[in-house]
Chain A
Amino acid sequence: MATSSERSPPPFPDSEDQDVLDSEEVGGRESDEDDDGGGDDLLFVNPSNPPLTKMDTTLPPASQPSDVLMEPPSDLMNDPLIEPFSSLTENKPTSKIVSEPSDDFVDLTNNLADSPEDAAESVLADVAIDTTEIPLDEPSDDFVDIFGGETEAPREEVVIANVTVKAAAAADKSEVTSDVTDPPGDLKTGSDFEQEANETATDSIIDLSDDLLSSNAQKPPLASDQFVDPLVDFLSDAPPAADAKIPSRATVDLFEDEGNDLFTEPRQTKSAKQQQKSLFGEADEDLFGEPLGATTKKPVIKEPKGKPVPTKAARDVSNMGGPLQDGYTAEPADIFSEEAVTTVPSIKKTSAVNSKTNGVHSEEDTDIFAEATVELSLDSPQEERKKGVPAVPSASAPSVSAATSLAKPQSASLEELDDDEEEEEEEEEEQEDKFDISISVKDPEKIGDGMNAYMAYKVTTQTPLPMFRNKTFTVRRRFSDFLGLYEKLSEKHGPNGFIVPPPPEKSILGMTKVKVGKEDSSSADFVERRRAALERYLQRIVHHPSLLQDPDVREFLEREELPRAVGTQALSGAGFLKMINKATDAVSKMTIKMNESDVWFEEKLQEVESADQQFRKLHVLVESLVVHRKELSLNTASFAKSTAMLGSAEDNTALSRALSQLAEVEDKMEQLHQDQATNDTFNFAELIADYIRLLGSVRGSFDHRMKAWQRWQDAQAALQKKRETEAKLLWANKPDKLQLVKEEIAEWEVKVTQYERDFDRVTATVRKEVVRFDKEKARNFKREIINYLECLLQSQQQLIKYWEAFLPEAKAIA
């Protein structure tokens, strides 16, 4: 969705917001009603998944006939079908409507239940069926799947549905028949039929349950049908505004009256597009005017505030669902926001959860979701294009899991929210790993001579992300460019509390060696270390969802020529360390001043500091291990030589042979030790070094938080002073100056609120960043250390091999 919104950003936010509001309203009512049902529905989240995937698999064939019937081609079919499922899976927790489709799949497999709820569900099921059936000539297959092995023709399914809701079934049946058999031209009759059927269906439902339920039940089908438009829009890639017209026309052509029915809802919920209304206004009113009116009005009354935070959260949630879905089902994200209508209840709940949490928390949540959407949606269009129709089924499987994971936080209680978030993030990260950008820094090359020489590296980016012009591109960057990037990023994002991954330090000694042109192992080692460190540095940046969006990052990766970075000298060697130390000092000083109200930060800071100490210690140790291992390798080599000489001096043939064999073994051991030293260095020492640097950045972000706090406090003090002045002036009765002071007070008041907000924002960001950092850290360490240990194990196995080969030689000494 991000891509689409990038292309045409303005129209969406509005409509989305609207939708959200509407949907919330609807949801408000529904969730009120279904409070009890919500919990039960949750149970269905998982079971519903398999049927969904099954449905998906049948989609591709279905899509082809759809071409004949409808203008919007194959995708149409996929989308509507998938959509309901996915949306349903996501939204299940609360609403019947939403949960229905998923539920009824479950239910259907298990046997249809008898409760009124189920009735509604079955209606929905029918709706879902309808959508599939319209294009399908032989839909029996999907239904077989859905119903768990019951090989029944579409009609039979309908019959099953009939068990619970006869009227609805009849309606559907008619629909099915008409759709399947009639060519597009004849649709009119069919649709008329449907209209009637629908009416009867609603009636019957009303009979069975209550009005609201029925109306709700009615909605989802509409919503699902409604997907036609957005899909069309997105497929055609036209701007959203234009889209609104296109789909509507298409529907008009196809469904005529029925189209009206279908689109009334979407439009209403969308609460946008007057054109549509004008087109279909009549039909809407006829059929659904009542229920809709009820739904829309009621919620409005209930939630007149329209709190910005919750709605935002809701929107983000829905968006998140969207992009996730998109990634696999090739559906535009916006459908989801529109879908929010159907998903209302669930969204409502999440938003409620969010609103319950304190300010910091809710913001955090939304941000995280927002990020998720951004990341994932970035991937989706690419996927879409790549996979196309046939890929849909396979891709839909992961989406289900994603959907379920999404569903969790929605239903989760406040405490659980954090945990789920983590899970989510992990999944998110997994996906990141799979699809995301990969960067390599290669071919360090010395450019120039003498002290003006510098190293240039090839930075190759491979990514499917559409924000880049190509999928693979390479640029040449020199070390100071990397530092320059860091400077820019930390300047921009540091004050906001972001943890900007730091580059490796400048090393005057190491670089001088390289410059002088000594081709010894230590300078090669230095270059390789730095190259690897730069690679990890860039990878950390691009894996940071916010930093990846930074234009400077993109420029760094993409642009041929980069303006020469200046002022990177400040970062050189000791200077960098000094800077970190200074930051540390400042932080510790400020902590004393600032009576930390947030225990979390207090603890974290301590944690970071002790971790820093430990890492430093560990780093020294590992470095010394590396030194000793290298020494060992060297000594083993010379011993091997000596042994070889001893072997040649030995006059007993067998012993001489054995000794030279031993020499060979020792030679191999030398290689092993060498490799091990490299392993120590790159898998372990460098990792720790990275984290020492990163911890510096973490402290930096704490520092920035302190600064924000300081600014806020200062502003408050200033405001206090102004107020005192005001009081004095009042006392002295100097109205001329009083006016000025009053203006100043107003000014400072604004500033104070501004700074306070800034502080809150920075605090939230830092928190989030630290959580992310910790997560990354754990992941990183586990991966790297396991890697390291595997290397260790391997070398031990090598060693076994060598000595095993040697043993018979030793035994052969006579």
Chain B
Amino acid sequence: GEPHPGPRAVNVDLQTDATLQVDISDALSERDKVKFTVHTKSTLPNFKQNEFSVVRQHEEFIWLHDSFVENEEYAGYIIPPAPPRPDFDASREKLQKLGEGEGSMTKEEFTKMKQELEAEYLAIFKKTVAMHEVFLCRVAAHPVLRKDLNFHVFLEYNQDLSVRGKNKKEKLEDFFKNVVKSADGVLVAGVKDVDDFFEHEKTFLLEYHNRVKDASAKSDRMIRSHKNAADDINRIASSLYTLGTQDSTDLCKFFLKVSELFEKTRKIESRVAADEDLKLADLLKYYLRESQAAKDLLYRRSRALVDYENANKALDKARAKNRDVLQAETSQQLCCHKFEKISESAKQELIDFKTRRVAAFRKNLVELAELELKHAKVT
């Protein structure tokens, strides 16, 4: 219920650049999909207009993300993590259950529950929108990715991009790719890096990712139990209210007062939970995905390194046998180039990642602390 500073819970600190500004100005929830209105303001010459809006769905965001991942050109960059799929199922289910149970509870209880669920639904909705927006903002702020053609199409093309969700076969392929990738990742990870910076980053990210994963899961659980507690308090408040309305003795008045107090406590507790969710859990979740993206980058670099080393070996072999030397040389050159390119951009990317992360954590933790204080002081 708390009016947060808009849905723009930006978990990344982005340099605002007047040449290309993207936001989601509106979102519409339809049965099983959410339609985001992506609003762009740009002075870049490749856009026909300076300001325009298109309607996009989650799948189109995923498509954009995948196109980045698949683009070899971007191998040296941390691809901004794709936004999570909107998930209103739980909330919808609850709402439905509430509708079924309407007869079994008092009118007050029903209205209260409904309000709660609606608020919850709204919160999830806002969060979803925010996640999608962050993705676009990240891309728009990226010096290279912002120039991507697909991205421009995504922003400007006012028709359905006719991206379909992946079919079963593709999903299976993805799965195999992932298996291979992770197996390869383990293999590649074993290779000692020549560069101390990357060696350090590798170990750091590996651990960090695990930690952040853990922390994210724990924070989720913590917040869920906090919400549960808030719900309980809510129900206690209404129960006390019923007790208080039984007759008009002194005690009943007292119960009513206590009920009010509980109601207040409930509000505060659920706000605290919501804010923790927004400031802490979402932050952690975002960096879970971002660190995964950074890991992917490192994997790609390592892969390139291995490829480069293999190419070197192959070149040595070819030289020794004096056969296909040119071909080997070319491939070695290519691998070397690729590796160097990745290394170069990756270094900058990782440094940026750290800066972003620190800034984001700072911002969110400060906000979290401030919100906690604010709520606690309301009591």
> Which A residues contact B (CB, under 8 angstroms)?
607, 610-611, 614-615, 617-618, 621-622, 624-625, 628-629, 631-632, 634-636, 638-639, 641-643, 645-646, 649-652, 654-655, 658-659, 662, 774, 777-778, 781-782, 785, 789, 792-793, 796-797, 799-800, 803-804, 806-807, 810-811, 813-814
Of the residues A607, A617, A642, A792, contact of B218 by C-beta under 8 Å? A642
**Contact A614-B365, Cβ < 8 Å, known A631-B225, A632-B225, A639-B215:** no
Q: B127 an interface residue at 8 Å Cβ cutoff?
A: no
- Cβ–Cβ contact A792 & B379, under 8 A: yes
Of the residues B200, B215, B258, contact of A643 by C-beta under 8 Å? B215
- Cβ–Cβ contact A799 & B222, under 8 A: no
Further 12 A-B residue pairs, CB within 8 A, beyond A639-B215, A642-B211: A611-B246, A621-B235, A632-B225, A638-B218, A639-B219, A649-B208, A652-B357, A782-B251, A789-B258, A789-B261, A803-B372, A807-B370
Tell me which of B39-47, B135-143, B226-234, B293-301 binds A: B226-234
With both beta carbons as reference points, the residue of chain A lying nearest to B210 in the complex is identified as: A649
Residues of A within 8 A of B207 (CB): 649
State the CA gap A624–B249 with chains docked (Å).
28
Residues of A within 8 A of B208 (CB): 646, 649-650
Q: B152 an interface residue at 8 Å Cβ cutoff?
A: no
The smallest beta-carbon distance between B212 and chain A, in angstroms, is 6
Of the residues A778, A803, A810, contact of B250 by C-beta under 8 Å? A778
- Cβ–Cβ contact B239 & A618, under 8 A: yes
9 tightest Cβ-Cβ pairs between the two chains A and B: A625-B232, A813-B362, A642-B215, A632-B225, A639-B218, A810-B365, A635-B222, A778-B251, A628-B228
Of the residues B214, B249, B358, contact of A814 by C-beta under 8 Å? B358
With both beta carbons as reference points, the residue of chain B lying nearest to A614 in the complex is identified as: B243
Of the residues A615, A655, A782, contact of B362 by C-beta under 8 Å? A655
Supply 20 A–B pairs (Cβ within 8 Å), ascending by A.
Answer: A614-B242, A615-B243, A621-B235, A631-B228, A636-B222, A638-B218, A639-B222, A642-B214, A642-B217, A649-B208, A650-B208, A652-B357, A659-B361, A778-B250, A785-B258, A799-B372, A800-B373, A803-B369, A810-B366, A813-B365
- Cβ–Cβ contact A777 & B239, under 8 A: no
Residues of A within 8 A of B246 (CB): 607, 610-611, 614
The secondary structure that dominates the A interface is: helix
Residues of B within 8 A of A625 (CB): 229, 232-233, 236
Q: B125 an interface residue at 8 Å Cβ cutoff?
A: no
- Cβ–Cβ contact A628 & B358, under 8 A: no
Q: B270 an interface residue at 8 Å Cβ cutoff?
A: no
- Cβ–Cβ contact B376 & A782, under 8 A: no
State the CA gap A651–B247 with chains docked (Å).
63
Residues of A within 8 A of B233 (CB): 625
Q: B321 an interface residue at 8 Å Cβ cutoff?
A: no
Residues of A within 8 A of B265 (CB): 792
Residues of A within 8 A of B261 (CB): 789
With both beta carbons as reference points, the residue of chain A lying nearest to B367 in the complex is identified as: A810
The smallest beta-carbon distance between B240 and chain A, in angstroms, is 7
Residues of B within 8 A of A610 (CB): 246
Q: B63 an interface residue at 8 Å Cβ cutoff?
A: no
**Contact A649-B365, Cβ < 8 Å, known A611-B246, A621-B232, A632-B226:** no
Of the residues B229, B255, B365, contact of A628 by C-beta under 8 Å? B229
Our count of residue pairs bridging A and B at CB distance below 8 angstroms stands at 143
Residues of B within 8 A of A643 (CB): 215
With both beta carbons as reference points, the residue of chain B lying nearest to A811 in the complex is identified as: B366
- Cβ–Cβ contact A803 & B373, under 8 A: yes
State the CA gap A105–B212 with chains docked (Å).
83
- Cβ–Cβ contact B369 & A810, under 8 A: yes
Residues of B within 8 A of A813 (CB): 358, 361-362, 365
State the CA gap A638–B225 with chains docked (Å).
13
- Cβ–Cβ contact A655 & B239, under 8 A: no
Residues of A within 8 A of B200 (CB): 651
Q: B147 an interface residue at 8 Å Cβ cutoff?
A: no
**Contact A658-B361, Cβ < 8 Å, known A631-B228, A649-B211:** yes
State the CA gap A283–B323 with chains docked (Å).
154
Q: B171 an interface residue at 8 Å Cβ cutoff?
A: no
Within 8 A of A (CB), among B334-379: 354, 357-358, 361-362, 365-366, 368-370, 372-373, 376-377, 379
Interface residues on chain B, size class: 35 or more
State the CA gap A456–B369 with chains docked (Å).
48
- Cβ–Cβ contact A622 & B236, under 8 A: yes
Residues of A within 8 A of B204 (CB): 649, 651
State the CA gap A492–B231 with chains docked (Å).
45
State the CA gap A585–B182 with chains docked (Å).
67
The smallest beta-carbon distance between B272 and chain A, in angstroms, is 9
State the CA gap A617–B379 with chains docked (Å).
26
- Cβ–Cβ contact B229 & A645, under 8 A: no
**Contact A646-B373, Cβ < 8 Å, known A618-B243, A655-B361:** no
State the CA gap A614–B239 with chains docked (Å).
7
The smallest beta-carbon distance between A426 and chain B, in angstroms, is 11
State the CA gap A618–B235 with chains docked (Å).
8
- Cβ–Cβ contact A607 & B235, under 8 A: no
- Cβ–Cβ contact B361 & A782, under 8 A: no
With both beta carbons as reference points, the residue of chain A lying nearest to B226 in the complex is identified as: A632
- Cβ–Cβ contact A632 & B376, under 8 A: no
- Cβ–Cβ contact A781 & B366, under 8 A: no
Residues of A within 8 A of B354 (CB): 651-652
State the CA gap A335–B357 with chains docked (Å).
87
State the CA gap A651–B228 with chains docked (Å).
35
Q: B254 an interface residue at 8 Å Cβ cutoff?
A: yes
- Cβ–Cβ contact A781 & B362, under 8 A: no
Q: B221 an interface residue at 8 Å Cβ cutoff?
A: yes
Of the residues A624, A638, A651, A796, contact of B232 by C-beta under 8 Å? A624
Residues of B within 8 A of A804 (CB): 369, 373
The smallest beta-carbon distance between B361 and chain A, in angstroms, is 6
- Cβ–Cβ contact B214 & A645, under 8 A: yes
Residues of B within 8 A of A662 (CB): 365
- Cβ–Cβ contact B232 & A807, under 8 A: no
- Cβ–Cβ contact A632 & B229, under 8 A: yes
With both beta carbons as reference points, the residue of chain A lying nearest to B255 in the complex is identified as: A781
Of the residues B219, B254, B369, contact of A782 by C-beta under 8 Å? B254
- Cβ–Cβ contact A628 & B254, under 8 A: no
The smallest beta-carbon distance between A814 and chain B, in angstroms, is 7
Residues of A within 8 A of B242 (CB): 614
State the CA gap A792–B229 with chains docked (Å).
14
With both beta carbons as reference points, the residue of chain B lying nearest to A797 in the complex is identified as: B376
Residues of B within 8 A of A796 (CB): 376, 379
- Cβ–Cβ contact B212 & A646, under 8 A: yes
- Cβ–Cβ contact B247 & A635, under 8 A: no
Among A610, A650, A804, find the residue whose CB has the most chain B CB atoms closer than 10 A. A650
Residues of B within 8 A of A800 (CB): 373, 376-377
Of the residues A607, A652, A803, A811, contact of B376 by C-beta under 8 Å? A803
State the CA gap A37–B329 with chains docked (Å).
128
State the CA gap A617–B208 with chains docked (Å).
46
State the CA gap A635–B216 with chains docked (Å).
12
- Cβ–Cβ contact B362 & A810, under 8 A: yes
State the CA gap A253–B242 with chains docked (Å).
73
Residues of B within 8 A of A806 (CB): 365, 369
With both beta carbons as reference points, the residue of chain B lying nearest to A677 in the complex is identified as: B229
Residues of A within 8 A of B236 (CB): 618, 621-622, 625
State the CA gap A104–B360 with chains docked (Å).
83
State the CA gap A782–B358 with chains docked (Å).
49
Residues of A within 8 A of B357 (CB): 652, 655
Residues of A within 8 A of B243 (CB): 611, 614-615, 618
Among B249, B250, B361, find the residue whose CB has the most chain A CB atoms closer than 10 A. B361
With both beta carbons as reference points, the residue of chain B lying nearest to A658 in the complex is identified as: B365
Within 8 A of A (CB), among B94-146: none
- Cβ–Cβ contact B254 & A778, under 8 A: yes
**Contact A799-B362, Cβ < 8 Å, known A611-B243, A652-B354, A789-B261:** no
Residues of B within 8 A of A632 (CB): 222, 225-226, 228-229
Residues of B within 8 A of A622 (CB): 232, 236
Residues of A within 8 A of B214 (CB): 642, 645-646
Residues of B within 8 A of A629 (CB): 225, 229
